[in-house]
Amino acid sequence: MPTPPTISADVGGLKTRALLISVFTIATCGLIYELLAGTIASYLLGDSVTQFSTIIGVYLFAMGLGSYLSRHFQRDLITRFIEIEILVGVIGGLSSPVLFFSFGQIDAFRVVLYGWVAATGVLVGLEIPFLIRILKDEFPLDDLVSKVLSLDYLGALAASLIFPLWLLPRVGLMRSSFVFGVLNVLVAVWTCHLFRHQHRRPWLTVQAYIALGLLLAGVGYSDNLMEWSERQLYDDPVILSRSSVYQRIVVTQSDGEVRLFLNGDLQFSSLDEYRYHEALVHPGLAAVDTPRRALVLGGGDGMAVRELLKDERVEQVTLVDLDPVVTEIFREHEGLATLNDHALRSPRVDLVNADAFVWLEEDAGAYDFIVLDFPDPSNYSLGKLYTTTFYQRLAAHLNPGGIVAIQSTSPLVSRQAFWCIVKTVRAAGLEAAPYHAPVPSFGEWGFVVASRQPFQIPQRFPDGLRFVTPAVTRSLFEFPPDMSKVPADVNHLNNQILVQYHADGLAQYTHPPAVYTP
């Protein structure tokens, strides 16, 4: 039986060093593909905790399967390794375009998602066993294993750092997959040349260069591919798209209507967003005697700030939003800044980009009126912003006579989630006055006014409002039977029952209304 090729004749250790560098490279690429799949699934399907958990599980299982299958390859190990690198580079490099395109075109998107992740994982699982067997004659076994595993883990560390800090915000999902596919294929190319006397297959080198050319073309046309894929996802023309560390931001426009989408979820339509934002802000604000200092948590689009600035009694507004890209767009982009009346440029507004949960612990300020314009509690990262812990932190920043206005999801679609928020506010030691308003783009939407004293519906509002009036406001605090109170538990930080309530509510609808996640 032919023996596997060795590299013992390697002059100066060039081939050995090249293979060890390959370990680091392929480890970095492998984890990047996993992170890309998890991020894309989170963007398209929501609930990042669930998506990353399932992607990681499938990927690791597939890697284990690949490692097990490697035992069946005994001959031509260098040739097989080159073939695997070409396949990993092509499949991993095409992961972003394939997943984005299939989401818009194929109903069984999850089959494509997990099938692509599994295929990538199996191939990645084959890589390290092959390299160990190729290098086994160059080092003692314990030294070889320690070198390979150390470089493997260092590659994983490099991927985990560069993905959120550089790739996602600056390179983008589409281009990142092509770039790392290129790196995998470059491993195949240099292995072809270094071991040309062992594999003796000129066509294999040609295949590697064809794959390299394909992926380099993808790098060059990534922006065009991303624009094309997004046109398949949205009904209206895309006029702006950006990626941040936290989300994919897309703005569409058609016939005078501007829509904002974050991770594919509709945030507002310019045709009726005033209903939501007036209802969120003005009932509570008008009930405060002297609302000099106001705080907005979330609401990086500046619409809630716009409503606050309509009240001349408000002297200073602090806006705290997690994503600096969102606030920058709505401050600097002229068309979008017009929607919020250039509120984020006002000298009365201080802008902070931070996690509100942490920021409340660090801030020493007290406020007369606070607006919580957070996304719906669709995952545990968001659910923490609706807990007794968070509301208690919030109460510590509330001046005597101050009021909090809380976005509280739909009392029709997510009925139990809505009343869970009401009960949680009361469990935190605050009075809670629930109300709702019809917003055509989203259906019935719910809010809660929280305060230390029982809430009194105000009788006066600023001039120029398009939806809120004294008579309309009184009607908002009345609930029909299909939205009336139902039993619900308190949402604590250690159980986050609200996330489950919200998911259960949406699951009742075969085609639920668009979820508003400001």
Q: What residues act catalytically?
A: 373
Q: What are the structure tokens assigned to 426, written together?
A: 């009361």
Find the angle CA(84)-CA(89)-CA(95) to the nearest 5 degrees.
125
Question: Whole-angstrom Cα distance, residue 219 to residue 197?
Answer: 32
DSSP state of 160: H
Which structure tokens are listed for 372?
């919580």
State how far the Cα of 466 lies from the Cα of 445, in Å rounded to an integer: 17
The two beta strands, 349-353 and 257-262, are unpaired
What's the CA gap between 390 and 492, in Å, rounded? 9
Taking alpha carbons only, the member of 461, 478, 462 closest to residue 470 is 461
Looking at residue 479, its amino acid is: F
Residue 175: name the closest of 36, 72, 44 by CA: 36
Nearest residue to 373 via CA among 308, 310, 436, 304: 304
Q: 3-class SS at 406?
A: strand
Cα(217)–Cα(220) distance, rounded to whole angstroms?
Answer: 5
